[in-house]
Amino acid sequence: MLGRPRRTLLFNELQIHEYYDAYATPTPKYMILCFPDVGLVSSIACRHIVMEKKLGLVGEIDSPTLLPPVSVIHESSPISPVQLYMPEDRSFLMVLSEIPLLPSSVYPFVDAISNYADELGVEYLLAVTGLAVPNRLELERPQVFVASSRKEVYASVKKENIEALREGFMVGFYALLLKEGRKKGFSTVVFLVESFLDIPDPEAAAFGIVALSRFAGIRVDTTKLLEEAELIKIGTRDLMMQTRKAMMDMQKQMERQMPLMYM
């Protein structure tokens, strides 16, 4: 059971509580960011990584103004719905939210988390999310795209049959992550997997995990995720409903549009 944090950092309206030694070595090279979005691809993928890799809970993020008064119970401990996880080898740090962010909370979260990553000395900000397509039901193998703040990333993933996202809109947490990551000098990489818009999509999440794991050198078996896909769809329905409302507030449907200058 968790006790008092070793350290608490304040970034604007966010409190980051650490239960680990942030200055021990090695410094995590990657920070993986997981917030509910299209098809819950990010949430499903990251929860699977936590379970499959048996990641340790090393921190939590809280805010009296940006998060609702909610606690989740894990292993008999009440904790914030936004948690930090890390493997024993400290190769990466994961930020996992179990609730969707309000539109007004997105920018403060991205700003605080990127500042925290900078303090830790993280090199890469990574994420997996869904890219809603109308013909998802017809796709046996959804395509994975990548958006990045660094051109060299596109060349490195091309051999994995991952295509660069050339044109379009991105809305929400990952859109801001790319923009702010570039401004702050991070190598920011977001993998986007063709998925359903508002139906939990574990199959798309599995393809996202493969792309992420190959890029970061993290071995993750997706067999169990695919075997339990139907149960996951049922178990995440309520989260999908909450996320659908948040996406509507952020006008996620704009992602299907072409930028005006290319029309």
pLDDT per position as a tens digit, 6-22: 999 999 899 999 999 99
Q: Which two tokens stand for residue 112?
A: 């605080």
Q: Which two tokens stand for residue 206?
A: 């599995």
Concatenating the DSSP letter of every residue in 221-236 gives --HHHHHTHHHHHHHT
User: 113: Cβ–Cβ under 8 A, 6 or more apart, which residues?
Assistant: 11, 31, 33, 61, 95
Contact of 240 with 200, CB cutoff 8 Å:
yes
Q: What is the pTM of this model?
A: 0.91
Q: What is the mean pLDDT of the chain?
A: 90
Phi-psi region of 238 (alpha: psi -120 to 50; beta: other; left: phi over 0): alpha
Concatenating the DSSP letter of every residue in 190-202 gives EEEEEE-SSS--H
pLDDT band with cut points at 50, 70 and 90 for residue 41: very high
pLDDT band with cut points at 50, 70 and 90 for residue 252: low
Residues 172-193 have pLDDT tens digits of 899 999 998 888 888 999 999 9
Contact of 48 with 34, CB cutoff 8 Å:
no
Residues β-bridged to residue 60:
17, 83
Residues β-bridged to residue 190:
127, 147
All domains of the chain, ordered by start, with CATH? Answer: 7-254 (3.40.50.10900)
Q: Residue 263: its pLDDT value, please?
A: 46
CB atoms within 10 A of CB 219: 8
Provide the percentage of residues in the chain whose pLDDT is more than 70: 95
**If you average pLDDT over residues 55-61, what whole number do you get?**
96
CB atoms within 10 A of CB 192: 30
Residues 100-145 have pLDDT tens digits of 998 889 999 999 999 999 999 999 999 999 999 999 989 989 999 9
Residues β-bridged to residue 187:
124
